[in-house]
Structure 1
Amino acid sequence: MVNRQTIVGGFVLGGILLALGVLVLFSRLRPFEPVTRAVLVFEGSVNGLIVGSPVTFRGVRVGVVRHIRVQFDPGSRRAYIPVIVQLEPNRVTIGRSADSVRTVGLPRMVADGLRGQLNIQSFVTGQAEIDLDFRPDTPATLYNRVPELPEIPTLPGQLQQLRDQIANLPLHDLAEDAEHTLVSLQVLSEHIDRLLPPLVGSLTRTSDQSQLALATATAAIADLQARAGRTLRAIDRLSTDGDRQLAGRGAELSALLRASNRSVGQAQALLTRINALAAPRSAPRADVEASLRDLSAAASSLRGLAEDLDRNPQLLLTGRGR
């Protein structure tokens, strides 16, 4: 009987140890690793954040959410949501050594600008996560809602910032502007409805006139093409006739050119002779000048005779006396 109980107890103890081993190996429990607990206090909605949600540092998982609760302050009538997180210091190396968050301490990291922010992990499932980062340019607002734990200041999440931006939008003014725009569009639509039929009629008439002008221009172009064709054919015939006439009259033109050349040569010879006769000291010129003097003297004698006959016509019968 004792041996049987011992055997059953051994099996039960082995099952418990095996279950613990499976739980340690395949779960997120780290019983032998140091952990640090901290609190983050949110005033806005933490929708999507549940126990077990990850705590990350720029996308790297460094912890998990362990507890979420709500605290209401009747004096200020404000609600606070402290979120207790469990950090795993072994995942963080500070400096070049293996100093962990536990060794350096969260207060120093908070003083250096460590802040927490609630962000959406998946827009499909709506799950949220807490993202840690150093932002020394932001104020560190501490609420001290859980005094026994170190507090990490929080910043408005992306969704909260979007909600604040939407809340700050002048929706009333936008609605009034939209209403005025719709009224203006309606007035413009009515005005267009009044102007559109005459405009369509004018466009139709313009189109008809354009088609008529196009038809007239097409006919004129066709007539011009026909005339241009006839003119080109006439020019072609004229050119052909000219070529034939030039070919037939080529011999005559050659003879005419030769005769012209001979005439030019004779004219040049005649000019040469005339120039020789007209030279100042040439004998023919002296003979011509003497003949001209004799003719001048004869002309003077005839002129004197004519004057004498004019005064005394009887000189033809009696002659001049001695």
Structure 2
Amino acid sequence: MAERQTTVGAFVLGGALLGVTAIALFGQFHPFSPTSRAVVVFDSPINGLGVGAPVTFDGVQVGHVDHIAVQFDPQTHQAYIPVTLELQANGAHMAGSHGKVLDSRELPKLVENGLRAELHMQSFVTGQEEIDLTFDPSVPAHLHPGISPLPEIPARESEMQKLTDALTALPLKNIANNADAMLVSIRTLADKLDKDLPPLVDSVRATSDHTRVTVDTATDAIRDLDHHMDTTLASINNLADTGTAQLDARGSELHTLLVNSNETVTEAKGALAGLHDITAPSSADRSNIDSSLRDLAAAAAALRGFATDVERNPQLLLMGRRN
């Protein structure tokens, strides 16, 4: 009997040791690891954060959420949510020393150097959140003295919280109203186009048909005019050739006539010169003969000049001289 009790006791003790070991290895209970406690105070909702949620330092788990409470300040009418963290003191070490970064005594110095806490979405499916610690000296340390006796790690807004605040600040109602007004305007414009476009399209189609007929008519007229112009130009060329031939012929005949006229004038001048010799110097006939000789000389000179001009430009017979 005693042997059986001893066996049962050993079995129970072994099971208890295995249970403690399992909890130590896989749970949040670390009986052989020194821990420190700190608090993060949030002044906005922390939906999705619960007790036991992981606490990470730049993504590496260094603790868990131990307690969540709500405190109301009657003076400012502000509700605060202090979240108690249980940190593994040896979860991080200072380079070149054996100091424990997450020791409660070191936290105020780390806060001065920029240690901040923020909410991180652990799973978009379940909506669970965790707390991540990181260094960000650019964010001012906003502390809440009197909320908790534990060292406080200032909170900063996460990117998700910033996005949420930005979306909340958007004038969604005005945007929706403007969108409704725009849709109404678009619907009105569509109705007006449905009413006005068919007559306009018919008018454009009719105008296009008239324009096509006009262009075709003009094309036919230009084609006929081109044919008539070719005929007219051919006739003008024939007329010009005929006129040139006739001018050449008349020019030759006129040249012969002018030569004969010149010879006649010369003979008349000779005859008058003979009469000039047989008349008395003071007689009236002598004076008339001298005048006739001068006229014949001028006529002969004019005939010679005209003949020369006609030989150079036979068109003088048609167009005459231009001043």
Q: Are the structure 2 counterparts of residues 103 and 49 from structure 1 closer, same or farther at C-alpha, using a change threshold of 3 Å?
A: closer
TM-score using structure 2 length:
0.59
> In the TM superposition, what are the counterparts of 1:166-315 in structure 2 within 5 Å?
166-205=167-206, 208=209
Matching residue of 2:152: 151
Rounded to whole Å, the distance in 2 between the matches of 1:180 and 1:21 is 67
> 2:32 is matched by which residue type in structure 1?
F
**Structure 2 residue aligned with 1:298:** none
Q: 1:113 maps to which residue?
A: 114
Q: 2: CA distance between counterparts of 1:162 and 1:103?
A: 33
Report the counterpart of residue 302 of structure 2 in structure 1. none
**In the alignment, is the contact (CA less than 8 A) between 1:44 and 1:160 conserved in 2?**
no
Alignment of 1:86-105 (within 5 A): 86-101=86-101, 102=103, 105=106
State the one-letter code of the partner of 1:130: I
Distance (Å, rounded) in 2 between the aligned partners of 1:200 and 1:92? 79
Q: Which residue of 1 aligns with 2:51?
A: 51
On the 8 A contact 1:70/1:81 being kept in 2, the answer is: yes
Note the C-alpha offset of 1:158. Answer: 3.2
Matches of 2:24 and 2:172, distance apart in 1: 54
Q: Which string of whole-angstrom CA distances, capped at 9 and with x for unpartnered residues, describes residues 200-232 of structure 1?
A: 213433565687799x69x99xx9xxxxxxxxx
Instruction: State the secondary structure of the residue aligned to 2:66.
Output: strand
Paired residue type of 1:48: G
Question: What is the CA–CA distance in structure 1 between the aligned matches of 2:58 and 2:120, rounded to whole Å?
Answer: 11
**Distance in 2 separating the partners of 1:119 and 1:198:** 62
Residue number in structure 2 paired with 1:60? 60
Unmatched tracts of structure 2, length 5 or more: 224-269, 279-323
Matched with 1:132 is 133
**Alpha-carbon shift at residue 103 of structure 1 (Å):** 7.7
The one-letter code matched in structure 1 to 2:51 is: V
Residues 118 and 156 in structure 2, CA contact (< 8 A), matched pair in contact too: yes
Q: Tell me, what secondary structure is at the counterpart of 1:201?
A: helix
Distance 2:17 2:177 in 1: 71
Q: Indicate the residue corresponding to 2:228 in structure 1.
A: none
CA distance in 1, matches of 2:86, 2:47: 20
Check the 8 A contact 1:39/1:146 in 2, yes or no: no
Instruction: Tell me the distance in 1 between the aligned counterparts of 2:214 and 2:90.
Output: 91
TM-score, scaled relative to structure 1 = 0.59
Instruction: Give the CA RMSD over aligned residues.
Output: 3.5
Q: Give the match for residue 40 of structure 2.
A: 40
Deviates more, 1:109-118 or 1:156-165: 156-165
Gaps of 5+ in 1: 224-302, 312-322
Q: Percent identity?
A: 47
